[in-house]
Amino acid sequence: MEKQTEYQQLVQKRKGHDFKNGLTNPSQTAFDIDEIDPWAQWQHNLDAKILVVGQEFCDVETYERTEGKVERFPDKYEYPSNKNLKAYFDLLGYDLGHPLSPKKSNPIFFTNAVMGLKPGSMSGNFDAKWLEESRELFLKPLIDIIQPKIIIPIGSMATKTLGVIYGFKVSDHKSMVDNAPIKTPQTLVFPVFHTGGLGLRNRPKELQMGDWMRIKDIMNWKSSS
């Protein structure tokens, strides 16, 4: 079965799923999208070498206010996390383009560890019990379709759910980032800090840039070996 067919079947499964524990399916709003996760609207190459896994897209109120878009305004960034992520991928040699006008040829795919919309506010607490449902039903099948060479989990929760998938031990996030990559038989996993406000408070931008440069160095080494 071709990747696109498998992917569309997975998208349809997500659209029809009734998320538990207070989560809302994007299909239960007026702004559902034809992707596994709203973030995939920015980068969604099924032949991706790099899979980026965030924590969750947003809360229901923000999703409806932004009409399900990654960014609302052309050539502007309402969310610093997106602007910073674009800058970090510039370091890797990839121009993502703006979320409303993405560069689609990049070997990159974006998704989240939790594919339902969370209750409460954008900055509300994350419930770790949300991870299992999306991991087992959607993230693992997505990884099987894409078969990426590199996975970049953003934040500790995305790293935690990948630890379950690949069977590696998860310790404190700073240690995981400092000692990356995690080598599995299938892929290299490079945990990083969140690219927005809280992540930058825990890991200043200069250090985050260094983390991404280490990813670039290993990518270059792998391509030349």
Instruction: Dump pLDDT digits (tens) for 23-48.
Output: 999 999 999 999 999 999 999 999 99
Residue 124 tokens read as 């509300």
Q: Average of pLDDT values for 151-159?
A: 98
C-alpha span between 80 and 65 (Å, rounded): 18
The single residue listed with the structure tokens 């700073």 is 174
- State the pTM of this model: 0.96
Q: How far is CA 47 from CA 120, 167, 200, in A?
A: 35, 24, 31
Mean of the pLDDT values across residues 8-19?
A: 98
pLDDT (0 to 100) of residue 222? 66
- pLDDT tens figures, 193-225: 999 988 999 999 999 999 999 999 998 876 655
Task: Assess whether pLDDT exceeds 60 at residue 21.
Answer: yes
Q: How confident is the model at residue 124 (pLDDT cuts 50, 70, 90)?
A: low
In the chain the domains, ranked by start, together with CATH numbers, are 3-15+31-115+123-224 (3.40.470.10)
Check residue 106 and give its pLDDT: 98
Q: Which residues of 71-96 are buried (b: 16+ CB within 10 A; e: fewer)?
A: beeeeebebebbebbbebbeebebeb
pLDDT at 220: 84
Cross-strand partners of 51: 109, 151
- Residue 6 sits at φ, ψ, to 5 deg, of -60, -40
CA dist 179 → 19, 88, 134, 182 (Å): 34, 19, 27, 8
Confidence of residue 107 (pLDDT cuts 50, 70, 90): very high
In this predicted structure, what is the pLDDT of residue 130? 96
User: Taking 90 as the threshold, does the pLDDT of residue 125 lie above it?
Assistant: no
Residue the block writes with tokens 């896994």? 53
pLDDT at 170: 97
Mean pLDDT of all residues in 120-125: 69
Tokens 């998938």 correspond to 165
